[in-house]
Amino acid sequence: MQAAGILETVLYAGDLPAAEKFYADVLGLEVIRSDKRQVFFRCGEGVLLIFNPAETVKPVDANSPFPVPAHGTSGEGHACFRASAEEIEAWKHRLEQNGLGIEADFKWPSGGRSIYFRDPAGNSLEFAEPGAKADHIESILFADWGGDPVSRRSMGDAIASFESGSALGARQSQTRM
């Protein structure tokens, strides 16, 4: 069994009105709910949630019809939005028009482009072409624990050692649970 996809993505911001203005006015996302605890935005088929970390760590009232457990984090997060090459160029122009700096703008080895920028809370945001990171992700998957690339042929040896119960294999099995 495998999860079918991601329904929600969460980022945190202490100043929800600033976050709401940014995501609605600059990124054009539709606000579907907003209160002192959170702002929900429609983003394609999913939902982007911006939580106030000071509020979401508090337990929800036991009588609430939605008894969501308290949760949260601190610090900057990351989210990547899907965009075509043409859309990325338009987004870059729009972001710059709104006074936002582009932290990085490059092409991945697969040829897809990414641009990185920050929201008012400091979260790292990205627009990327679908498939842009395929080579990057593959390089992570096909790298040994020391960070040196290994060939796909030696990956078979690595998998065999995982299955044989080596320390690395035991760690691999634990992450599958």
Task: Tell me what the mean pLDDT of segment 150-175 comes to.
Answer: 42
Residue 141 has pLDDT above 60, yes or no: no
- Residue 42's pLDDT band, with cuts at 50, 70 and 90, is very high
Residue 145 has pLDDT above 50, yes or no: no
Q: Among positive and negative, which fits the CA dihedral 15, 19, 21, 22?
A: positive
Whether this model's pTM surpasses 0.85: no
Task: Tell me what the mean pLDDT of segment 45-68 comes to.
Answer: 90
- Residue 136's pLDDT band, with cuts at 50, 70 and 90, is low
Residue 149 has pLDDT above 70, yes or no: no
- Residue 75's pLDDT band, with cuts at 50, 70 and 90, is confident
Residue 122 CA to residue 156 CA, distance in Å, equals 41
What does the mean pLDDT of the chain come to? 81
Query: Residue 138: its pLDDT value, please?
Result: 56
Task: Tell me what the mean pLDDT of segment 130-144 comes to.
Answer: 60
Higher pLDDT, 56 or 138: 56
Nearest to 9 by CA among 23, 26, 28, 22: 23
Residue 153 CA to residue 132 CA, distance in Å, equals 24
Residue 48 CA to residue 147 CA, distance in Å, equals 33
CA angle 48, 138, 127 (to 5 degrees): 30
CB 119 within 8 A of CB 19: yes
Query: Residue 89: its pLDDT value, please?
Result: 97
Residue 160 has pLDDT above 50, yes or no: no
Residue 83 has pLDDT above 70, yes or no: yes
Residue 155 CA to residue 175 CA, distance in Å, equals 18
- Residue 132's pLDDT band, with cuts at 50, 70 and 90, is low
